[in-house]
Amino acid sequence: MDTLPQLEIILCAPRGFCAGVDRAIQIVELALEKYGAPVYVRHEIVHNKYVVDGLKAKGAVFVEELDEIPDTEAPVVFSAHGVPKSVPLDASARKMFFLDATCPLVSKVHVEAERHHAAGHEIVLIGHKGHPEVVGTMGQLPQGAISLVETVADAEAFEPRDPANLAFVTQTTLSVDDTAEIVGVLQRRFPQVTGPHKEDICYATTNRQEAVKQVAPEVDAMIVVGAPNSSNSMRLVEVAERSGCAKSALVQRASEIDWSLFSGIKRLGITAGASAPEALVDEIIDAFAAHYKISVSSRVTARENIAFNVPKALRVPAS
């Protein structure tokens, strides 16, 4: 007799890999196919240990800085988060062959920052201090050209050199709601502030947060599959909690599930950050299937069909 308790699982969609992450992983894999191992990668290509370990097994070597790489003709890949301008300059000076896996939507923010700087604007970057994307964006311009604002309190306290000559850009993986609040403060305090032509927070971050907002009020618990150093994954946990799901947990692998958190639940929401592969979602569903009699459905709140080209050096010529 089947004595397992019933559990309804609702999968948020979209979830998991975005186009920028997909492209970055492809760049490393195609480089390994074309040039053989090793392929050096500066910083985790995307913030997911499972992905990084899989690429290591194929011959990728991960470093934090270029000076850890010996003199080599092997390719060097820059991660999806983007790098300061000094990094490709350093790589060129060392005659390295490098491939830039920066997400095109991060590159868009870099270009915006440069345009604002060229127009003489003082720039505010809304983002998280120390995150590689923020380090990369601030590193596009001379030191002091960009001021970092992390919170509403920072925005209230910020004193520009010239309030009439201010522009802002944002990290691509922030909480949509938090960012809107910070932007609101800047616009109230500095009505002439210039914003991006198009939202800097990327489509994938926005879509994944929107899906969680819709599912979270209906479930007893929410699992976000992702890594603690993944900004967009951490934001999904916060969004779930704010949207009415008090039991919201970040889980990297099924082995990490704290089963005491999920005792007595009837409905579970599952999503995945933009750098988490679907294989890990499947692994977590399988783990719950061992404890519950599960039924699984999807809640689709948006369709994504965006894809980004890999660099020319890696493209297969048309036959």
The upper half-sphere exposure of residue 55, i.e. CA atoms within 13 Å in the direction of its Cβ, equals 27
pLDDT digits (tens, 9 = 90+) for 148-164: 999 999 999 999 999 99
Q: What gap in Å lies between CA 121 and CA 123, rounded to an integer? A: 6
Q: What gap in Å lies between CA 94 and CA 315, rounded to an integer? A: 25
User: Fold for domain 6-17+203-300?
Assistant: Cobalt-precorrin-4 Transmethylase; domain 1 (3.40.1010)
19-103 and 105-189, same CATH topology:
no
Which H or E run includes 167? strand 166-170
Express the helix, strand and coil content of the chain in percent, nearest 5 each: 40, 20, 40
SS3 5: coil
Confidence of residue 3 (pLDDT cuts 50, 70, 90): confident
pLDDT digits (tens, 9 = 90+) for 225-283: 999 999 999 999 999 999 999 899 999 999 999 999 999 999 999 999 999 999 999 99
- Give the per-residue pLDDT at 1: 43
> What kind of architecture, by CATH, is found in domain 105-189?
3-Layer(aba) Sandwich (3.40)
Arithmetic mean of pLDDT, 16-36: 97
pLDDT digits (tens, 9 = 90+) for 97-129: 999 999 999 999 999 999 999 999 999 999 999
User: Fold for domain 19-103?
Assistant: Rossmann fold (3.40.50)
Q: What gap in Å lies between CA 248 and CA 238, rounded to an integer? A: 8
- Give the per-residue pLDDT at 99: 97
Confidence of residue 317 (pLDDT cuts 50, 70, 90): confident
Q: What are the residue boundaries of the structural domains of the chain, listed by start?
A: 6-17+203-300, 19-103, 105-189
Q: What is the CA radius of gyration of the chain?
A: 21
**Of the candidates 38, 41, 34, which has an alpha carbon nearest to the alpha carbon of residue 316?**
34
Confidence of residue 7 (pLDDT cuts 50, 70, 90): very high
Task: Give the DSSP letter string of 63-110.
Answer: ESSGGGSPS-SS-EEE-TT---THHHHHHHHTT--EEE---HHHHHHH
pTM score: 0.94
Active site residues: 133
Say whether pLDDT at 319 is over 60.
no
Say whether pLDDT at 5 is over 70.
yes
Q: What gap in Å lies between CA 79 and CA 62, rounded to an integer? A: 10
- Give the per-residue pLDDT at 197: 82
SS3 98: strand
| 199, amino acid identity | E
- Give the per-residue pLDDT at 221: 98
Arithmetic mean of pLDDT over the chain = 96
Higher pLDDT, 56 or 318: 56
> Residue 283 carries which DSSP code?
H
Q: What gap in Å lies between CA 194 and CA 186, rounded to an integer? A: 10
Say whether pLDDT at 217 is over 70.
yes
Q: What gap in Å lies between CA 173 and CA 206, rounded to an integer? A: 8
